[in-house]
Amino acid sequence: MEKLTEELIQSLNGGKLVSLITVDAGNDAPHLSSISWVLANPTGEQVHFAVGAKASVIENIEKNPNVILGVIGAGSSYAIKGKVYQTESFDKTIKIQTFSVDVESVEDVMFYGGKITVEPEYEKTYKKELAEKLDAEIYEALDGLNKDHVAS
């Protein structure tokens, strides 16, 4: 698959726990981060995400733009491979950096005979009002990327 299915697009809209795999800028080893500020482009050709402005993945991406987004959803486990580029930084409640991934391939990586029956859930452990404010600001920024940027 070269783009996201409609079911994956829906799965990636708002608060999904996603694994971001980059290449460590210091030692060229794989680097795994968990992210949740993720939004798929309605065309399925891009995925946008945000991280805090001091996140180690920023340096990794600057050195090597090849990434994998690991997603458990839509009944299976997927590896979304692509090239990522920095889009904008925002300084609102906290400083964040947004990115867009041009989707090159989507692979179902679930083991043979397996099916996801319950998706992972998480809970934000800081102030509820702050979490809601951050989420609103960041998803507004990510939604703006859907309007401003198209896949190359």
- Centre a 10 Å sphere on the Cβ of residue 29 and count the other Cβ atoms it contains: 7
CA dist., res. 19 & res. 10, Å (int): 17
Reported as a pLDDT band with limits 50, 70 and 90, residue 148 is low
> Of 71, 76, 75, 17, whose CA–CA distance to 44 is shortest?
71
Task: Calculate ∠ Cα 71-75-77, nearest 5°.
Answer: 30
Can you give the pLDDT at residue 151? 43
> What is the mean pLDDT of the segment spanning 1-22?
91
Q: Which range has the worst mean pLDDT, 2-6, 56-60, 107-111, 145-149? A: 145-149
Question: Domains in the chain, ordered, with CATH?
Answer: 6-148 (2.30.110.10)
pLDDT value, residue 103: 97
Phi, psi of 87 (to 5 degrees): -110, -75
pTM of the predicted model as reported, rounded to 2 decimal places: 0.90
Which pLDDT tens digit goes with each residue over 54-112?
Answer: 999 999 999 999 999 999 998 999 999 999 998 888 888 889 999 999 999 999 999 99
Looking at residue 39, what is its pLDDT? 94
Across 11-31, average pLDDT = 93
Looking at residue 33, what DSSP letter applies? E
Write down the mean pLDDT value for the chain: 90
Angle, CA of 7, 47 and 12, to the nearest 5°: 35
